[in-house]
Amino acid sequence: MVVGQNEDNEDNIETEKEDTGSDGEEDGDDMKVEKHRIGDYDCPEFVFSKTDEKRIDRPWRRGVIVKLLGRRIGYKALENRLKQMWVRKGVISIIDL
């Protein structure tokens, strides 16, 4: 997974404003657990509020998942190639899934 970040901090300021709206308290009441039965197994389904979904999704908002097709390439070689391609787009962080 490749996560990008702009060099200017406009996005960071926006997310900090969103963070301060929750008064620093964690809303545990917004998550519901619904129990479903699939075959012989009980399967819980976690249902989050829209604000919790946005908070959870925020770190990966600008993420890209890269799947290699064809020949194999090592992790470091892929990392170097992606950093060369996106050097002007800002700072990127590469995570091996």
Interval 50-79: pLDDT, tens: 999 999 999 888 888 888 888 888 889 988
**Of 3 and 56, more confident:** 56
Indicate the pTM of the whole model.
Answer: 0.45
What is the pLDDT, as a whole number, of residue 7? 52
**Of 2 and 42, more confident:** 42
CA 40 to chain centre: 33
